[in-house]
Amino acid sequence: MEFRELGQGLCVSAIGMGCMGLTESTYGPVDETESARALDRAIDLGVTLLDTGETYGRDHSNEKLVGRVVERRRGDVLLATKFGLTFDIDSGSMVVDGRPETIRASCEGSLRRLRTDHIDVYFQHRVDPRVPIEDVWGELSLLVAEGKVRYLGLSEPGMQTLRKAHAIHPVAVVENEYSLFTRDPEAEVLPTLDELGIGLLCFAPLGRGMLSGRIRSTEDFSEHDFRRRLPRYQGENFARNLELVDAVAEIAGARGLSSAQLALAWLLSRGPRVIPIPSMETRGRVEENLLAADVTLTDAELAAIEAALPHGGIGERYGVYSGLSSAESSSVC
């Protein structure tokens, strides 16, 4: 497995593991026994970065599962988790909270659930517009000084907020949705990260599963799957996006790759600090997706991908689903 340097000397595997889908989540129920085996398999194959969050799953179940698996192999992995966003699976309601007292309580809780004495990368899950970033980063700096946290990150921040935070204590990595379906970071985020020497973790790198080619109908979503509420996966948008998925599959097939492998290889071509973190709930998905780290796309293949999906997917990412008003505080992932 290739390694890449994010910011502040943080080195991780070229493909990380997004852990949200390993437990019951916005996508629906899963087999947690197989999830634990998939996590073990990913580590066996060289994945070093595991990305979870205190709000994933019911009663913090995601951090608990990751903690159980990783406790016996802590030296093999870097743990990333998040604070500052509470999400209810059933109602879809979200609350952003960036108060210093919440940060400290969240950190202590994550340390217990992850069964560790330190968090390698601690992310502010969503920026709280009510709390000055100076107060947030002041508290996080204390956690770093105390050895409870090693590196700091921001998830989907505005660039002005990122610059302010980075000036107080260096930001090692930003997490954004980025894929062939979601190319928003190319306009401002990627240039800013390059300027500041900050890495990018790409969540939903397979377009929330659609770029894998396995989703052919909205009926493939479970009854409570939140993709049923997202504009991109409804009606005419879904049909048009399915055409884009088929175009990706054709390019991938010509190279002997799966659609997922092509989509991940494309992200890896975006820059040396770009790390996709696909959700991989089974050992088969782990083994398939990690092969993308060995793929180098040709100029002709990159041009064909660009011609097929020049602007990403059709439809908004979230619409009104999140219930959050802040532009820096939308979504759960």
The residues assigned a catalytic role are 56
Instruction: Provide the token pair at 315.
Output: 């439809």
**Integer Cα distance of 191 and 169 in angstroms:** 20
Say how many CA atoms lie within 13 Å of 143 toward its Cβ.
Answer: 30
Instruction: Provide the token pair at 101.
Output: 């007292």
Tell me which amino acid residue 212 is.
Answer: S
Residues near 178 by beta carbon (within 8 Å), at least 6 away in sequence = 184, 185, 200, 202, 203, 205, 267, 270, 274
Are 125 and 82 a contacting pair, CB within 8 Å?
yes
CA distance to 168, 234, 243, per residue, from 239 (Å): 46, 8, 7
Residues near 227 by beta carbon (within 8 Å), at least 6 away in sequence = 27, 208, 209, 221, 233
Are 149 and 118 a contacting pair, CB within 8 Å?
yes
